[in-house]
Amino acid sequence: MTFTKDPLPGEPRLVGTDRLELRAVCADDLAALFEINTDPRTWSHLPEGRHREEGTTLAWIERAARRWESDGLSYWTARLRTDGTVVGVGGAQLQTATGYWNLYYRLAPAHWGHGYATEISRAAIAAAHRHSPEAPLVAWIHGHNTGSRQVAERLGLLDHGLRRDPTLGALLHLYADRPLPPAGRP
């Protein structure tokens, strides 16, 4: 992985991987990210999360962009280095409730099965570790989302079993890059 631009330590707004260019998400990405977020296939694990209006995606982009300013790390729009095609979005954001970095990605279905989720995730893990190595990195994953669980396992994340996600309030598998305190404690 190559960090092609790093304006401040721990704030990699532009990252190059072997096949992807990862740029801090911004409003210019609206059309491509709305297309991904409105596709029911990308939300098969959580159908109610699907974006039905561009305004929902724009608000999500604006929140993610603000996190670059407040936390020094957030989500990137992922493009193929060869032709600039948007394949998805991903990165890590600091969870206020836990103080953990939350790993996130969402890919266009046409780009599933090519290892891009793993590639984005490896960059996110590296960025989170550079930014705040003391903070665990976690992924909250629905039990029936086998693809994401496989990515987490491929990344070497440990499955800490079912725990209550502080954002959704649902019982999800909590994967982490290190041992964590028992459930019920941060």
Could you read off the pLDDT of 70-120 as tens digits, one per residue?
999 999 999 999 999 999 999 999 999 899 999 999 999 999 999 999 999
> What structural domains does the chain harbor?
2-135 (3.40.630.30)
User: What is the radius of gyration, based on Cα positions, of the chain?
Assistant: 15
What's the pLDDT at 182? 82
DSSP 13: S
Asked whether the predicted pLDDT for residue 4 surpasses 50, the reply is no
What's the pLDDT at 115? 96
The Cα–Cα gap between 174 and 19 comes to 28
- Mean pLDDT, the chain, integer: 89
Q: pTM above the 0.85 mark?
A: yes
Asked whether the predicted pLDDT for residue 10 surpasses 60, the reply is no
% residues pLDDT > 70 (the chain): 89
The DSSP annotation for 94-160 comes to: E-TTT-PEEEEEEE-GGGTTSSHHHHHHHHHHHHHHHH-TTS-EEEEE-TT-HHHHHHHHHTT-EEE
What's the pLDDT at 50? 65
Higher per-residue confidence, 165 vs 8: 165
